[in-house]
Amino acid sequence: MGRILALAIAAYLYGGPSFEGRRPAALDIPLREFKRHVDAIETDGPRMLAAIDRLRGQYDLDKVLRAMNRSF
């Protein structure tokens, strides 16, 4: 587990702009895309968590409404 984490961190750092001229040509695009996808988590994460929270609230509301309908 630790080796995989270290490899992922190295790939992320190696995909940064400071290693622009040092990356092999075959790994240039994949490493830049990996870094871009990891950075996208920062912007997409809160939006996805809000969507999950909104859906969770709808599920609870649906559960409450069904319980109320059964009681009548």
Q: Give me the residue spans of the domains in the chain.
A: 2-71
Judged on CB neighbours under 10 Å (0-12, 13-18, 19+), 15 is buried
Q: What is the pTM of this model?
A: 0.62
Q: Which residue has better confidence, 60 or 48?
A: 48
pLDDT (tens digit per residue) in 1-39: 899 999 999 999 889 888 888 888 898 999 999 999 999
**Closest Cα partner for 28 from 55, 36, 68, 1?**
36
Measured CA to CA in angstroms, residue 51 lies from 25, 57, 60 at distances of: 39, 10, 14
The pLDDT assigned to 57 comes to 65
